[in-house]
């Protein structure tokens, strides 16, 4: 019998429980996977606390890695025993998942289970942010909030690969050191006054792009840090959702662009997904992109993992071990 983490009702960590679940057979175009690692992401916290309403009971998770254990009709891309990873299969907080083969990514040799679980969602997110949402150009100065977080560390490194000067914000001196190790040129500890500091570092001009995953607590100053015709990329809300925005504020800020992107719109086709994954792993293999797993937790301790993430007690990526 497989096991999974289930949310019973909206609320705090006490509503997370480990339950037995039936082992469904894969259908046409699907595979069954014995899970070896699960990525923990903020969206699961939003779902649990009601920010993103979901029907209860609900099995969270969409990212992980494992070994193919059974094939559905018509599947020839993978074989039983292949190591795979994914960033879009629901109910991934489990010991076994069933999902469509077109969502799977081959895990190259040399990547551990924890690394394979840590890379897909945040790696693909950092990739599209730096290459598609705002294509970073050599010589750009960019600001990345939460520079010691999972996406922040990866986005910083990709921005450096693209030739940018990177400013990050972090909450502690310890996290500042991690951000510098990832290549950040300037690290601002604490979020108070970061817009003024960012403008100082750009000679008063402001930034061509600010990548903001914090949301409510940073939005106003992020907007103030963007230069004329620059872009504010809001891709998360760890401090809470941003209140409704009057479009006139973008006019007053200097014809600024505001976008709220998501991964699904940047991996629409199988070829686009594989192109991003291939480039990410090429950088990993070459040593240009380093992964940081900030913590591993037993599957049964999913509540603790989410609490640590929400309280900003962690760095890098958190992974559950079934």
Q: Which CATH superfamily is domain 2-118+292-321 in?
A: Medium-chain alcohol dehydrogenases, catalytic domain (3.90.180.10)
Domain boundaries, the chain: 2-118+292-321, 122-264
pLDDT digits (tens, 9 = 90+) for 75-112: 999 999 999 999 999 999 999 999 999 999 999 988 99
Predicted confidence band of residue 14 (pLDDT cuts 50, 70, 90): low
> How far is 80 from 71, CA to CA, in rounded Å?
7
One fold for 2-118+292-321 and 122-264: no
Residues in the chain: 322
Q: Into which CATH architecture does domain 122-264 fall?
A: 3-Layer(aba) Sandwich (3.40)
Of 51, 276, 233, 266, nearest to 146 by C-alpha is 233
What pTM does this model have?
Answer: 0.92
Predicted confidence band of residue 179 (pLDDT cuts 50, 70, 90): very high
Kindly state the helix (H) or strand (E) to which residue 35 belongs, with its residue range.
strand 30-40
- pLDDT above 90 (res 30): yes
């Amino acid at each position: 019998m497989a096991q999974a983490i289930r949310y019973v009702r909206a609320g705090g960590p006490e509503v997370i429980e480990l339950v037995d679940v039936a082992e469904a057979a894969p259908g046409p175009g699907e595979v069954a996977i014995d899970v070896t690692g699960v990525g923990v992401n903020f969206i699961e916290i939003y779902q649990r606390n009601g920010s993103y309403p979901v029907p209860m009971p609900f099995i969270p998770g969409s990212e992980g890695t494992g070994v193919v254990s059974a094939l559905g009709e018509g599947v020839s891309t993978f074989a039983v025993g292949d190591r795979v990873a994914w960033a879009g299969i629901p109910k991934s907080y489990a010991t076994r998942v069933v999902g469509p083969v077109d969502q799977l990514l081959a895990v190259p040799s040399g990547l551990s289970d924890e690394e394979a679980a840590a890379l897909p969602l945040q790696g693909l997110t950092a990739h599209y942010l730096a290459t598609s949402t705002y294509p970073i150009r050599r010589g750009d100065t960019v600001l990345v909030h939460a520079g010691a977080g999972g996406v922040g560390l990866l986005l910083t490194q990709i921005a450096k690969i693209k030739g940018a000067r990177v400013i990050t914000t972090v909450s502690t001196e310890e996290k500042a050191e991690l951000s510098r190790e990832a290549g950040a040129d300037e690290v601002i500890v604490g979020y108070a006054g970061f817009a003024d500091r960012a403008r100082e570092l750009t000679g008063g001009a402001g930034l061509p792009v600010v990548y903001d995953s914090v949301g409510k607590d940073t939005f106003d100053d992020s907007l103030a840090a963007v230069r004329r015709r620059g872009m504010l990329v809001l891709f998360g809300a760890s401090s809470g959702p941003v209140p409704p925005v009057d479009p006139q504020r973008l006019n007053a800020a200097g014809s600024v662009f505001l976008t709220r992107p998501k991964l699904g719109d940047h991996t629409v086709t199988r070829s686009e997904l594989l192109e991003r994954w291939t480039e990410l792993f090429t950088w990993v293999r070459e040593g240009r992109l380093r992964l940081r797993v900030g913590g591993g937790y037993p599957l049964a301790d999913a509540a603790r993992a989410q609490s640590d993430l929400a309280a900003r007690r962690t760095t890098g990526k958190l992974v559950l071990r079934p």
